[in-house]
């Protein structure tokens, strides 16, 4: 069984930044890349809001650069998916792909959160070509375009309101006749002159032409009839699912499943286990904030392995 000082689970901006910092601290981190190496940014095209790239950079290229930087300083990578962990005793045990078991003195969890998709025909093929799950990331590319937002919660209303600064017109599609969003968020959306509504409508398929989104087919739940809402941009805002199932309840999570961390650092409820990125951040979900939290986690791990880190979980609960 291979033994490591620190294992990093996940390779989005958080995990790769943690790998860079841990490697430069001579901790020789062992990084499990997951079944989506590079995280959600590998599904995007141009990234224009990550510092240091005035002309933007393609999402996959940014992740490749971060990975190469970590490898340069001595990080080791393994493709695969963590299937189970044992955090009940130290060293911790991490099993990859069901039968490849490793031991680690410390673990950084950066497995991210997966955006929930509609799972309708044409959707997955058009991700990065008109279908998006992040208004802040991609809204700029739809300046003076028609946009559709699918969802009925606060996040959907917030994203729709944000996107109206770019859209020529915007339609909110929701499968129910009433919204789940708070009244304040509903009122804000209803007061926006650019926003149109398609309530009680169920998305059926994404229509595309020449590898670009051209419309969303929806079914009117009252009449059963279908229609096409013409659009160049489809933003799916129906929530995220943190990738924490493999933990088996060994860490304290919030009601949705995000890992709880001490607000003053990256420590989790188990001493020696740290978390960063979207797996513990349900609010910002940005590459730059994830990278920053990866830096924090690596620095915390370094102190922990030196015996200088104070794990005070009561501080997190208080």
Domain boundary among 175, 205, 236: 236
pLDDT at 318 over 60: no
Give the helix ranges, DSSP H, for the chain. Answer: 13-24, 59-72, 135-138, 154-163, 183-190, 287-305, 313-317
- Closest by CA position to 167, among listed 196, 124, 203, 187: 196
pLDDT in tens, 193-227: 999 999 999 999 999 999 999 999 999 999 999 99
Question: How high is the mean pLDDT of the chain?
Answer: 93
Q: Where does a domain end: 236, 252, 273?
A: 236
Contact in structure between 218 and 204 (CB atoms under 8 Å): yes
80 plus 47 within the same structural domain: yes
Please tell me the predicted confidence (pLDDT) of residue 96. Answer: 94
Residue 182 and residue 79 share a domain: no
Query: How much of the chain, in percent, has pLDDT values that exceed 70?
Result: 96
130 lies in the same domain as 217: yes
89 and 125 belong to one structural domain: no
Active-site pick, 55, 86, 134, 300 = 134
Q: Which entry of 55, 105, 137, 281 is annotated as an active-site residue?
A: 137
Pairing of strands 76-78, 146-150: unpaired
CA–CA dist 275, 244 (Å, integer): 11
Q: What does the pLDDT look like over 124-138, one tens digit per residue?
A: 999 989 999 888 888
Residue 138 designated active-site: yes
Q: Are residues 107 and 249 located together in one domain of the fold?
A: yes
Instruction: Provide the pLDDT for residue 58.
Output: 84
Other beta carbons within 10 angstroms of residue 176's beta carbon come to 12
- When divided into structural domains, the chain yields a total of 2
Structural domain for 50, as ranges: 2-114+240-317
- Mean pLDDT computed over 233-250: 93
Whether 227 and 293 map to the same domain: the answer is no
Instruction: Kindly tell me if the per-residue pLDDT of 30 is higher than 70.
Output: yes
Q: How far apart are CA 287 and CA 192, in angstroms?
A: 29
CATH number of the structural domain spanning residue 276: 3.50.50.60
What is the per-residue burial (b if ≥16 Cβ within 10 Å, else e) of 177-204?
eebebeeebbebbeeeebbeebebbbbb
Indicate yes or no: pTM above 0.85: no
First CA to last CA distance, the chain: 39
Q: How would residue 46 be classed by pLDDT, with cut points 50, 70 and 90?
A: confident
Residues 92 and 138 in one domain: no
Q: Which of 86, 100, 105, 138 is catalytic?
A: 138
């Amino acid at each position: 069984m291979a033994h490591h000082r620190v294992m990093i689970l996940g390779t989005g901006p958080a995990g790769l930044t943690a790998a860079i910092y841990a490697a430069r601290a001579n901790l020789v981190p062992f990084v499990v890349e997951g079944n989506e190496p590079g995280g959600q940014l590998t599904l995007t095209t141009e990234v224009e809001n990550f510092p240091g790239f005035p002309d933007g950079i393609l999402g996959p290229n940014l992740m490749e650069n971060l990975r190469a930087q970590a490898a340069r300083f001595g990080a080791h990578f393994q493709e695969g998916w963590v299937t189970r962990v044992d955090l009940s005793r130290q060293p911790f045990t991490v099993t990859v792909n069901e039968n490849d078991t490793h031991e680690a003195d410390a673990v950084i969890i950066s497995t991210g959160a997966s955006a929930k998709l509609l799972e309708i025909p044409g959707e997955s093929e058009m991700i990065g070509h008109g279908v998006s799950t992040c208004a802040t990331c991609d809204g700029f590319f739809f300046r003076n375009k028609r946009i559709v937002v699918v969802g009925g919660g606060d996040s959907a209303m917030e994203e729709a309101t944000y996107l109206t600064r770019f859209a020529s017109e915007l339609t909110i599609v929701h499968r129910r006749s009433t919204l789940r969003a708070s009244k304040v968020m509903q009122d804000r959306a209803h007061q926006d002159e650019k926003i149109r509504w398609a309530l009680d409508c169920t998305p059926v398929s994404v229509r595309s032409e020449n590898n670009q989104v051209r419309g969303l087919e929806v079914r009117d739940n009252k009449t059963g009839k279908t229609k096409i809402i013409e659009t160049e941009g489809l933003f799916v805002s129906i929530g995220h699912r943190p990738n924490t199932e493999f933990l088996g309840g060994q860490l304290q999570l919030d009601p949705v499943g995000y890992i709880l961390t001490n607000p003053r650092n990256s420590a989790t409820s188990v001493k020696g286990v740290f978390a960063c990125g979207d797996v513990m951040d349900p609010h910002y979900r940005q590459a730059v904030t994830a990278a920053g939290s990866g830096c924090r986690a690596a620095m915390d791990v370094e102190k922990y392995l030196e015996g200088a880190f104070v794990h005070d979980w009561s501080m997190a609960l208080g």
